[in-house]
Structure 1
Amino acid sequence: MKQVEHGDRPSMGLLNLNEGDHKYQLTRHAPSEALRPFVKHYWIVSWDLTGLEPYPQHVVPNPCVNLVVERNNTFFFGPSGRKFSYLVSGKGRVFGVKFNPGGFYPFLRIPVSSLYGQPMNVSNILDVTAESLEDRLLGAGDDADKTSYIDQLLCAHLPAEDAQARMVNDIVQQIEQNREMLRVDDLSSYWNMHTRKLQRLFNQYVGIGPKTVIKLYRLQNAAEWMDRGLHCDLIKLSQDLGYHDQSHFIRDFKSIIGSTPEEYLHSRHPNGEGRGLIN
Structure 2
Amino acid sequence: MAGPRRDTRGIVDAGGLFARVRFRRREPAPELRPFLEHYWLIDWDLDEPYASQVVPHPSVNVVFQHFARESPGTHKSRPFAEIAGIRHELFVQKLAGRGRVCGVQFRPGGFRPFSPGRSVADWTGRQIPLAEAMPVTDDDIAAVLGPEAEDDRVAALDAYLLAVVAAAPAPEHAPHVARATALADLVRRDRSMRRVDALAQAGGLSPRSLQRLFAGYVGVGPKWVILRYRIHEALERAEAAGGTADWSTLAADLGYSDQAHLVRDFTATVGVSPTAYGRAV
* TM-score interval (norm. to shorter): 0.7 to 0.9
- Which residue of the other structure, out of 167, 190, 208, is the alignment partner of 2:202? 190
Change (3 A) 1:266 1:18: closer
8 Å CA contact 1:42–1:95 kept in 2: the answer is yes
How do 1:27-106 and structure 2 match up within 5 A?
27-49=24-46, 51=47, 53-71=48-66, 74-106=81-113
Higher strand share: 2
Pick one of 212, 222, 225 that aligns with 1:210: 222
Q: Identify which of 223, 227, 236 aligns with 2:239.
A: 227
What SS does the aligned partner of 1:173 have? helix
The equivalent of 2:129 in structure 1 is 121
Output the CA distance in 2 between the equivalents of 1:204 and 1:127: 20
8 Å CA contact 1:95–1:138 kept in 2: the answer is: yes
Report the TM-score when normalising by structure 1: 0.85
Shift in Å at residue 94 of structure 1?
0.3
| Contact 1:14 1:59 (C-alpha < 8 Å) held by counterparts | yes
CA contact (8 A) 2:147 2:153 kept: no
Structure 2: 5+ residue runs without aligned partners? 67-78
What CA distance in whole angstroms lies between the structure 2 residues aligned with 1:33 and 1:236? 39
Distance in 2 (CA, whole Å) between partners of 1:259 and 1:160 is 43
SS in 1 for 2:58: coil
1:253 aligns with 2:266: yes
- Paired letter, 2:153: K
Q: Which runs of 5+ in 1 are unaligned?
A: 269-279
CA distance in 2, matches of 1:216, 1:55: 25
Residue correspondence of structure 1 range 170-181 to structure 2 within 5 A: 170-181=182-193
Give the AA of the match of 1:63: P
Q: CA deviation at 1:227?
A: 0.9
Calculate percent identity across the aligned residue pairs. 35
More divergent stretch after superposition (141-150 vs 93-102): 141-150
Amino acid in structure 2 at the alignment position of 1:30: E
What is the CA–CA distance in structure 2 between the aligned matches of 1:176 and 1:91, rounded to whole Å?
35
**1:165 matched to 2:177:** yes
> What SS does structure 2 have at the residue aligned with 1:265?
helix
Amino acid at match of 1:259: V
CA shift digits 1:171-197 (9 cap, x unpaired): 111111111011212212322321111
Equivalence for 1:275: none
Offset of residue 203 of structure 1: 0.5
How much has 1:133 moved relative to structure 2?
4.1
SS of the residue corresponding to residue 191 of structure 2 reads coil
Could you tell me whether the CA contact under 8 Å between 2:50 and 2:94 is conserved in 1?
Answer: yes
3-state DSSP class of the match of 1:263?
Answer: helix
Partner SS, residue 12 of structure 2: coil
> How far apart are residue 132 of structure 1 and its match?
4.1
- What corresponds to 1:2 in structure 2? 2
Greater Cα offset, 191-200 or 223-232: 223-232
The answer as to 2:45 corresponding to 1:23 is: no
Note the aligned Cα RMSD (angstroms). Answer: 2.1
**2-side partners of 1:261 and 1:174: how far apart?**
25
C-alpha deviation, 1:166, in angstroms: 1.1
Moved more, 79-88 or 119-128: 119-128
